[in-house]
Structure 1
Amino acid sequence: MKWYADRPGRLTRQLIADLLAVAWVAIWIWVATTAHDWVLELRAPGDGLVNAGGDIRDVFTNAASKARDVPLVGDDLSGALGNGTKAGETLIGVGNTQIGVVQDTAFWLATALVVVPVLFLLITWLPVRLRYALKAANTAKLRDKPDLLALRALTSLTPKQLAKFDGDPAVAWRTGDLDVIEELAKRQLAALGVRA
């Protein structure tokens, strides 16, 4: 395959288009990572719940273990304080759930912000580049077959381009006019940016 044209004008346009495609991907990666970081800031309340739940659990666990030493009511008091430990664990669970939701949202948002624009680019830009690469490579293989290139030029050049020839280029091609055939072949190669 021939990815780039030989002629400077078309080569410049192709390079600019490719650089714009790379910039497009880079911009969307930057947008995605920025959005990911912003969404992750929303996990702060979940972190707070986990920390508060851990503190509550630790306080009630220590109080319950010390309450066992109280004569007569120690076991009952320890059991009642144990419920506070469960409340702390519940807060930790709720905080972890919120953190998980925020992290999942950040991940999927960032993924969507990269995948959708890149898919759009692949659907629009890549087929054009592949089509050119295949067409230019196949046309370059015909450099030593000017008759075929001339025939292709007769079918692909615009009427305005064909009108610039002296006389009818189709008749000249049919009669084997080498000058016209060579000029048509050159124009066909030039149309794809391929050197003659």
Structure 2
Amino acid sequence: MTLYAQTPARRARQLVGDLLVVVWVVLWVRAGQWVHEVVGRLAAPGRTLENAGSSLSESLASAGDTVARVPLVGDNARAPFTAAGGAADSIARAGVQVQEGANQLAVLLGLTIAAVPILLVVAVWLLSRIRFVRRAGAARRILDSAADLDLFALRALATQPVRALARVSDDPANAWRRGEPDVVRALASLELRALGLRAPAGQPVS
């Protein structure tokens, strides 16, 4: 498997691209963490409500127990404290719900902020790399199984810019038909460089 180009310029661009993708991912992960932390602060009022409600409920329960021990008053005097304690418990539960909602929102927003730009860039990068690996791998198999560079020279005639072909020969098509070794090798090298590969040293030309 050919992961990186053999030609220095294209290999350098690939390495820089990989590094930029890594930096991009790290930056957006940090952005997602920051959003999570900021939104998570919305849970603070919920913690205050929970603590206040729990403390009030405990105080009312203690007061109810104390009143219930008073002679001639008994459990009848405890009822208002019990009711108030239930209301305090409701406040505490509301505080817990506020915290849970804030935490869920923080997780959702943090993941969304980080995941969307990361997935978009990584998908494009991955498709590009897979395409290169497949094309380079197929080209290397042909080079390994064929005794000449004629196929790549023909492909160069069909795909390479006219200015690049003109630098090889004034009449590259006829030179290819005649099988001129230097022209065939030069044309094949053009196409192989576009694929990120180098022509094998000493590769014979039929």
Which TM-score applies when normalising by structure 1? 0.94
Match of 2:105 in 1: 105
Provide, for residues 75-124 of structure 1, a one-character-per-residue CA deviation record: whole Å limited to 9, x for no partner: 11101110111011011111001001100010001110121012211332
Q: How does 1:1-196 map to 2 (within 5 A)?
A: 1-143=1-143, 144=146, 145-196=148-199
Structure 2: which amino acid aligns with 1:53?
G
Contact 1:7 1:193 in 2 (8 A): yes
Q: Could you say what secondary structure the match of 1:164 adopts? A: helix
Contact 2:21 2:122 in 1 (8 A): no
Return the alpha-carbon distance in structure 1 between the equivalents of residues 80 and 20 of structure 2.
67
Provide, for residues 9-53 of structure 1, a one-character-per-residue CA deviation record: whole Å limited to 9, x for no partner: 111111000100011000000111111111111211100001000
Which TM-score applies when normalising by structure 2? 0.90
Contact 1:142 1:149 in 2 (8 A): no
Deviation at 1:193, TM superposition (A): 2.3
Range 178-187 or range 108-117, more displaced: 178-187
Contact 1:64 1:82 in 2 (8 A): yes
Return the alpha-carbon distance in structure 1 between the equivalents of residues 67 and 156 of structure 2.
98
Contact 2:57 2:89 in 1 (8 A): yes
Q: What CA RMSD, in Å, does the superposition of the two structures yield over aligned residues?
A: 1.3
Return the alpha-carbon distance in structure 2 between the equivalents of residues 141 and 178 of structure 1.
22
Range 36-45 or range 53-62, more displaced: 36-45
Provide, for residues 153-190 of structure 1, a one-character-per-residue CA deviation record: whole Å limited to 9, x for no partner: 11121111112232321122222222211111112112
Return the alpha-carbon distance in structure 2 between the equivalents of residues 131 and 121 of structure 1.
15
Structure 1: runs of 5+ lacking an equivalent: none
Contact 2:40 2:103 in 1 (8 A): yes
Contact 2:50 2:93 in 1 (8 A): yes
Structure 2: which amino acid aligns with 1:167?
D
Aligned residues: 196
Deviation at 1:192, TM superposition (A): 2.2
Q: Could you say what secondary structure the match of 1:2 adopts? A: coil
